[in-house]
Amino acid sequence: MRRSLVCCCILFTGFSSLFGQLKLVKTHEINNSQLTAVDYIGNYYIQNNNELWMFNRFDTLFRKFSIINLSDVSSIDASNALKIQLYYKELGKILYIDNNISDFSTAISLNDMSLAQSTLVCSSYDNGFWCYLPGTMSLYRYDQYLKRVVDIESINRFMSLSVMEPMFMKEYSNTLYLFFPDYGLLVFDIFGAYVQTLPITQLQYPDIQSAELIHFKNDTLYFQSLPDIAKTSSLALPHHDGLQSVRFSSGKVYMLTKNKLFIYKL
């Protein structure tokens, strides 16, 4: 449905026609949060103070889980809707929860694996995970038994410039995407082979859903086809001051400000 509406908007009346199709379905009070994730089912996850909240696909606050005894979560990866990954950078730990925000697994200590300097972590297929170490600009993949199975050393050899830290990493459809804001989106296969660099920079709130790279700019959400970003569509959004995060899944847009979550539906 979203694709047909976007096409209609582009071909005939611009952003305003599509904007008229957006319906505000729910708002929720949120306190000082920036960290969010959404899965392909349409469940939405957010850290709200010392709790992790889950909104189900019916836009209902389904679960709350206290994380008061832990430090702030650095990233939430909901690529596997049945096994949500929480990364605690300060503690050097990874935790996994189910989609009811319960049944915590035993924490994985990255410190014990000589990965204390990791700045990015994401989920991988078959219960594995990737981590990025900035000191050596290296990527490592570990399987479910915590065995290192892929080494990508010195990824700066794939770049023509000295670049800053990557800000986003995600595996999707047997492909790993690593985004450097000032350089582009580096693409690797699951065996660690370099595939290409997509020349797209300065993405805001990037995510990958349904074979599309999704990002935000100037009150507009952009959808670019993967793996080559050859096709682009867009969706005009209502303006909100103090915007902290934008996510899209299953025909819904989740816009988070400093104190409120707005859920829109196409």
Instruction: Specify the pLDDT at position 13.
Output: 31
Instruction: Specify the pLDDT at position 69.
Output: 63
Instruction: Specify the pLDDT at position 228.
Output: 84
Q: Which amino acid is at 104?
A: F
What is the per-residue pLDDT across 232-266, written as a single tens digit (0 to 9) for each? Answer: 999 999 999 999 999 999 999 999 998 899 999 98
Instruction: Specify the pLDDT at position 217.
Output: 94
Angle at 74 between CA 202 and CA 193, to 5 degrees: 60
> What is 167-198 written as a DSSP string?
-EEEEETTEEEEEETTTEEEEEETTS-EEEEE
Instruction: Specify the pLDDT at position 52.
Output: 85
**Which residues in the chain land under pLDDT 70?**
1-20, 67-70, 103-104, 163
Q: How far apart are CA 67 and CA 56, in angstroms?
A: 20
Instruction: Specify the pLDDT at position 15.
Output: 34
Indicate whether this model's pTM tops 0.75: yes
Instruction: Specify the pLDDT at position 19.
Output: 46
Comparing C-alpha atoms, which of 164, 185, 165 is closest to residue 176? 185
Instruction: Specify the pLDDT at position 3.
Output: 45
| All domains of the chain in start order, with CATH | 2-165+226-265 (2.120.10)
Instruction: Specify the pLDDT at position 72.
Output: 79
Instruction: Specify the pLDDT at position 128.
Output: 96
Instruction: Specify the pLDDT at position 34.
Output: 75
Angle at 57 between CA 55 and CA 61, to 5 degrees: 25
What is the per-residue pLDDT across 12-34, written as a single tens digit (0 to 9) for each? Answer: 333 333 444 789 999 998 887 77
Comparing C-alpha atoms, which of 10, 27, 28 is closest to residue 19? 10
Q: Is 126 helix (H, G, I), strand (E, B) or coil?
A: helix
Comparing C-alpha atoms, which of 132, 13, 158 is closest to residue 5? 13
